[in-house]
Structure 1
Amino acid sequence: MLMQTKTDNAGSRLFARIGASLAARFIPIANRSLLYRLLSENLKAQAPWYGLATIAMLIVAGMTSLSAWIMKDIVNETVVSQNMQRVLSLAVGVAGIFIVKGVATYFQMVILSKAGNSIIATAQKTIFDRILKQDLNFFMRFPSSELVMRLTNNAQAARTVMDLVLTSAVRDLFSLIGLMAVMVIQQPMLTIVSIIIGPLAFWGIRHLTLKVRAIMQQELASLGMIIQNVQEMTIGVRIIKAFGLEGYMRERMDKYVSQVEQRANSIARLSAATSPMMETLSGLAIAGVIALSGYWVVDGGKTPGELMSFITALLLAYEPAKRLARMRINLEAAMVGVRMMYELKDHPIRLEEKPDAQPVPAGHGDIEFENVGFSYDPKKPLFENLNLSFPAGKTTALVGASGGGKSTIINLVMRLFDPEQGSIRVNGLDLREISFESLRNHMAYVGQDTFLFNGTILENIALGREGATEEEVIEAAKSANAHDFIMHMSNGYNSPVGENGGNLSGGQKQRIAIARAMLRDADILILDEATSALDSHAEAQVQDALKRLTENRTTIVIAHRLATITSADNIVVLENGKILEQGRQEELLSHDGPYRRLYELQILPQLEENQN
């Protein structure tokens, strides 16, 4: 085991040194540091596999060179000496060479696939974990389609680069070195003629790589648009059908697919251009060899076997030389994806948990905003010196026009953002001093846009509290007025909700979300228009359940329908990030203020309509 580990580490170190040398020679300066980072992050983790793969590829390279070398003896013994016993021995040797080469090639491919799949899995896990730690600003910057594309295609690009560098650094380079050695030993002068054209090939390929980089970046952007179009189609299918937008969606998809097709064809043309270039230059080299071979064989005292060995090595050297020549184009295309992957991995995390983060202090969920400042746009601050209290065990309602800061307040309370100035305290301790796990365990949330995970109703409600029993889930559903409609479904609590609750109505989804929050039984309850999708009968029943749920809990309610907050302990009216007034409803209605005007516009017409 110790010997195997030493071999693996030696192989990976050899690969690293050779890969670095190749990088310095063939890879643009802009990509070198990125490639070094990719190698350093993956070589150590995959050292055993890459060590074994290096050994297998060295065997392949050695057998390739040996197959060219043995041609000398085959020709001389067959044509010149005509020694049949010797010929049979050489035939056995050739069979052995190709058997060993085949077995080594098999293990090389299997091992590289295992290491490559591990690289993809590790990259995807790391990136996904990084994304989970980001704040809401991150998700505003990166649309979901782009994140999906980066998480899948870019992780695959990392594997492609590793495989490309490894095979080029070991198999192709050592095969070429071995074959060149055979050529030099057998025909040194012809070797010089053959390699004169090498620099011309690499100069031409360098020009092609500059075009590949720009085209590949555009292609990845178009792939992201394809993913986005598919997502919008699945999510907005009702709108598409209702407004007859099939043609519009089809045109968009045709446009994006055509862009990807055109750019893929451009990359294919540029990549394919290396083959005729190498074919032409190799043909010129071989033609020169044939023209000069007669002189060295007839007048130079060389044997036919030496010439055949040389020509065999020259022909075998063509494929690894061509792959090395095309390496830069293929690498340039893959490095675009690697660069995009590292943009996600390196994106700063603005919401960091302190190493010595504490649990939420003992208390009942008292929340205090003290001189809080926050802005989405530095030129337009939303909050400046905002002071606001959410007393423990009381219900505080936030009302006002859209854009006033209501949702931002609850996002700050849940620590989805951090304030730029001031502090937000829960039970007297700054949120930035509290661990994420403890903070979230003390909070339950029901949003206006209800989100359900793909799974069963039971699984979705049970997510409210880890380890909840089925009986507790059912009790929460009953409290949320969801039990009856659940039992009327084909499989009851085991009925699938579909993608984002597609099998349920809006009101049903919202009651499932309320049941999930009830099950959590948290000190702090956040309701963002939690009853907006319910009909009047269901809303009345859920309001009763919410009334029981909010007892002795700190509750923050965002409401546009004032009828849902009449019993709130404190109503805060917000406009453009400023508190216009606050108090109980009877206090706010006792004078002519913004809440009273809003009440008269919304509630009084309903009362008059009911009287009539």
Structure 2
Amino acid sequence: MLPPKMANALRNMVSPETRDTVRRLFVQDGRRHWKGYALSFVFMAFMAGTTSGLAYLMGTVINRIFVEQSTSAIWILSGAVVALSVTKGFAAYGQAVTLAKVGNRIVADNQKRVLDRLLTQDVTFFSGSHTAEIMMRFNTGAQAARNVLNLIITSLGRDLLSVIGLTAVMIIQDPFMALIGFIVMPIAVGGVRSLIRKVQKIFSREFHSAIQIMTESIDAFQGIRTIKSFTLEDSQRAKIYGRIDKMEKASNRMMRAQSQSGPLMEALGGVAIGLVVMYAGWSVLHGGRTPGEFFSVITALLLCYEPAKRLARLNIDLTTHLLGARMLFEILDRPATEADAPGTPELVVRGGAVAFDEVVFSYRESEPVLRGLSFIAEPGQTTALVGPSGGGKSTVMNLLERFYDVESGVITIDGQRIDTVTRRSLRQAIGFVSQDVFLFTGTVRENIAAGLPGATEEQIIAAARSAHAHDFIMGFEGGYDSRVGERGTQLSGGQRQRIAIARAFLKDAPILLLDEATAALDSESEAEVQKALQSLQTNRTTLVIAHRLQTVINADKICVIEKGRVVESGRHEELVAKRGRYFTFHQLQFAGQQERLSA
């Protein structure tokens, strides 16, 4: 039992928030791995027992060998010391391996839980959070959960048991000696209380500084072309250097705060040892105590110093890890914004008719993007959306895939409201190819196969042939096993587009969305991609966004979207004949082309 004064000090040091976080970690992770922690606790008990045994044995060694000068005692006691030391070594190994395995499993489980929770969040969450912050929480939070549990377990199993065992040795050898430890310990515990809040504040600033460094570094690496094009190397370097310097200062403050308990513990440890030496020396010389008892007490006190110091610093060491664990819980506690209600039916696509009926939507309050937009994309036909930038064309595709939900109005597919069917079945029915193609870091084969997990080699090659991609793929040294680089940077724009089209071919969805799929390509690449797109559009309900009208003049229907509404619709010839908004766009584009040709 701890003395009441020390117990009260410990309770006052632990805030309700800390207790709640620790309790949740033990319920969530500790309970599932209690067998591993129990085994490690057994190993730590052996470590504490052997450490105490060595301290106690030291008294016998001094008395039997150096005072009584017993020859037989040399072999017996030396063997006992070796046995205890070997036992302690194996116990330390077992404890380290067991805790490592349990800790690694906790990290893996928490990373999986965080990933699962993140994948249930909508696009709004990711657009409002930088990748760096998400990754910091993903990695640091998961590791913090392990570190908190391991720190508490080792403090209780290794340090506390060692202190108890060594204190018992001192009590057995001389009860008065133990009183010194009970006097010093509350002073040490109380001395570190004032450091807790300081460490919490510094770590919080340090964590956010780390996020800023990672955020700006990722932006710099991903935007390296822009940086070099605008010769921004010096300004980017200065900005990130400033962040790094602030991080360095925060880290130094953290180290100073964490180290402030060191001088206190060193001083108190010196006082304790000095008092013991004075008392024990006087007892041996004038009180009839044996030298063995003196050395046993001194050994126990010296061995007790490090675990006692770690126990006194426990709350400080826990502080940084607990903040990381709370950041983990912030992610795990987020409600799943894309969870479908139980029993939600799946979308059944018969023809693929897509209808928008008086749809209203805004990304920001009081700034509507769609203002009662209505149109129908007929099954198996191509419907083109044209109009000025900011009119809401890309928003149509975002809403159709339910990356966002409408504020009012209805979107249906074959008469089924898309907000009443599962998101998974809805998105499985839609293929998407955009101007900004995203390729995963990996091989050409892996990126095509993303369209249909588990696809066979024959299916992958067939999709690549349909996308007019097979020939250039086979021209690579590694063929389908060639690496595409981060975001496909090792491929040309036309090659990336055709890989994305092959992926869409493999998915074979009845509804196809094309968002400026050829806008960034040169004429030769565009011609190849257009061939692939024409094949892909066959017998599919296709929605096309295009600023270049030349790419949509053959569409079955063209909808002119302006200020969130369809202001005109019809075939190319009909809209030109009306001489309305479409005719104006047409004249502006083709007049410009004629001027460039004549020049």
TM-score with structure 2 setting the length = 0.92
Deviations 1:150-197 (A, max 9, x none): 222322222221211110121111111122222233322232233323
Deviations 1:238-282 (A, max 9, x none): 223333232233323322332222222222222222222101111
Pair 147,387 (structure 1): closer, same or farther in 2 beyond 3 Å: same
Alignment correspondent of 2:123: 136
Alignment correspondent of 2:310: 323
Deviations 1:343-396 (A, max 9, x none): 222222211123223332141222233454433223434345544433222222
Q: Secondary structure at the match of 2:568?
A: strand
Pair 540,81 (structure 1): closer, same or farther in 2 beyond 3 Å: closer
Q: Quick one: distance in 2 between partners of 1:337 and 1:458?
A: 38
Q: Secondary structure at the match of 1:530?
A: coil
What's the offset of the Cα at 1:114?
A: 1.0
Alignment correspondent of 1:104: 91
**Counterparts of residues 202-221 of structure 1 (less than 5 Å):** 202-221=189-208
Q: Secondary structure at the match of 1:453?
A: coil
What's the offset of the Cα at 1:332?
A: 0.6
- Select which of 474, 489, 494 maps to 2:481: 494
- Segments of 4+ moved more than 6 angstroms: 20-23
- Select which of 548, 555, 575 maps to 2:535: 548
Q: Quick one: distance in 2 between partners of 1:494 and 1:152?
A: 30
Counterpart residue identity of residue 280, structure 1: A
Deviations 1:414-442 (A, max 9, x none): 12223344443322333344334322321
Alignment correspondent of 1:198: 185
Structure 1 stretch 383-392 or stretch 548-557: which is displaced more? Answer: 383-392
What's the offset of the Cα at 1:103?
A: 0.7
Match status 1:33 vs 2:20: yes
Alignment correspondent of 1:17: none
Q: Quick one: distance in 2 between partners of 1:25 and 1:173?
A: 19
Alignment check: 8 A CA contact 1:361 1:428 kept: no
Counterpart residue identity of residue 332, structure 2: K
Pair 392,608 (structure 1): closer, same or farther in 2 beyond 3 Å: same
Alignment correspondent of 2:259: 272
Pair 415,71 (structure 1): closer, same or farther in 2 beyond 3 Å: same
Structure 1 stretch 94-103 or stretch 228-237: which is displaced more? Answer: 228-237
Alignment correspondent of 1:168: 155
Counterpart residue identity of residue 365, structure 2: P
What's the offset of the Cα at 1:405?
A: 2.3
Q: Quick one: distance in 1 between partners of 2:419 and 2:248?
A: 49
Alignment check: 8 A CA contact 1:22 1:169 kept: no
Deviations 1:207-227 (A, max 9, x none): 122121122222222222333
Alignment check: 8 A CA contact 1:194 1:286 kept: no
Alignment check: 8 A CA contact 2:445 2:481 kept: yes
Q: Quick one: distance in 1 between partners of 2:597 and 2:489?
A: 35
Alignment correspondent of 1:42: 29
Q: Secondary structure at the match of 2:453?
A: coil
Alignment correspondent of 1:572: 559
What's the offset of the Cα at 1:590?
A: 3.6
Q: Quick one: distance in 1 between partners of 2:570 and 2:11?
A: 70
What's the offset of the Cα at 1:27?
A: 3.3
What's the offset of the Cα at 1:322?
A: 0.7
Q: Secondary structure at the match of 1:446?
A: strand
Counterpart residue identity of residue 268, structure 1: M
Q: Quick one: distance in 2 between partners of 1:423 and 1:191?
A: 78
Alignment check: 8 A CA contact 2:30 2:149 kept: no
Q: Aligned pair count? A: 593
Deviations 1:20-66 (A, max 9, x none): 99995653322221221122111233223212111101111111222
Q: Quick one: distance in 2 between partners of 1:212 and 1:325?
A: 15
- Select which of 419, 428, 432 maps to 2:406: 419
Alignment check: 8 A CA contact 2:374 2:565 kept: no
Alignment correspondent of 2:141: 154
**Counterparts of residues 105-120 of structure 1 (less than 5 Å):** 105-120=92-107
**Counterparts of residues 250-399 of structure 1 (less than 5 Å):** 250-383=237-370, 385-399=372-386
Give unmatched runs, 5+ long, in structure 2: 1-6
Q: CA RMSD in A?
A: 2.6
Alignment correspondent of 2:581: 594
Counterpart residue identity of residue 560, structure 2: V
Pair 175,423 (structure 1): closer, same or farther in 2 beyond 3 Å: farther
Q: Secondary structure at the match of 1:579?
A: strand
Alignment correspondent of 2:4: none
**Counterparts of residues 529-548 of structure 1 (less than 5 Å):** 529-548=516-535
Q: Secondary structure at the match of 1:375?
A: strand
Alignment correspondent of 1:4: none
Q: Quick one: distance in 1 between partners of 2:595 and 2:233?
A: 44
Alignment correspondent of 2:546: 559
What's the offset of the Cα at 1:336?
A: 1.9
Q: Quick one: distance in 1 between partners of 2:8 and 2:107?
A: 25
Q: Secondary structure at the match of 1:196?
A: helix
Q: Secondary structure at the match of 1:532?
A: coil
What's the offset of the Cα at 1:237?
A: 2.4
- Select which of 162, 167, 170 maps to 1:183: 170
Alignment check: 8 A CA contact 1:481 1:538 kept: no
Alignment correspondent of 1:7: none
Alignment correspondent of 1:506: 493
Q: Quick one: distance in 2 between partners of 1:67 and 1:379?
A: 76
Q: Quick one: distance in 2 between partners of 1:359 and 1:23?
A: 56
Match status 1:434 vs 2:424: no
What's the offset of the Cα at 1:318?
A: 0.6
Counterpart residue identity of residue 273, structure 1: Q
What's the offset of the Cα at 1:143?
A: 0.9
Deviations 1:274-327 (A, max 9, x none): 222101111112222223334444454433333322222211111111111122
Identical columns (%): 44
- Select which of 464, 473, 476 maps to 2:463: 476
Structure 1 stretch 553-562 or stretch 598-607: which is displaced more? Answer: 598-607
Q: Secondary structure at the match of 2:402?
A: coil
Counterpart residue identity of residue 94, structure 2: F
Q: Quick one: distance in 1 between partners of 2:86 and 2:457?
A: 61
Counterpart residue identity of residue 587, structure 2: E
What's the offset of the Cα at 1:487?
A: 3.6
Pair 83,215 (structure 1): closer, same or farther in 2 beyond 3 Å: same
Give unmatched runs, 5+ long, in structure 1: 1-19
Alignment correspondent of 2:114: 127
Pair 202,352 (structure 1): closer, same or farther in 2 beyond 3 Å: same
Structure 1 stretch 592-601 or stretch 404-413: which is displaced more? Answer: 592-601
Alignment check: 8 A CA contact 2:349 2:429 kept: no
- Select which of 219, 237, 242 maps to 1:232: 219
Structure 1 stretch 541-550 or stretch 34-43: which is displaced more? Answer: 541-550
Counterpart residue identity of residue 470, structure 2: H
Counterpart residue identity of residue 398, structure 1: L
**Counterparts of residues 77-96 of structure 1 (less than 5 Å):** 77-96=64-83
What's the offset of the Cα at 1:491?
A: 3.3
Q: Secondary structure at the match of 1:382?
A: strand
Q: Secondary structure at the match of 1:401?
A: coil
Structure 1 stretch 446-455 or stretch 375-384: which is displaced more? Answer: 375-384
TM-score with structure 1 setting the length = 0.90
Alignment check: 8 A CA contact 2:442 2:484 kept: yes
Pair 241,611 (structure 1): closer, same or farther in 2 beyond 3 Å: closer
What's the offset of the Cα at 1:80?
A: 4.2
Pair 21,402 (structure 1): closer, same or farther in 2 beyond 3 Å: farther
Alignment check: 8 A CA contact 2:498 2:532 kept: no
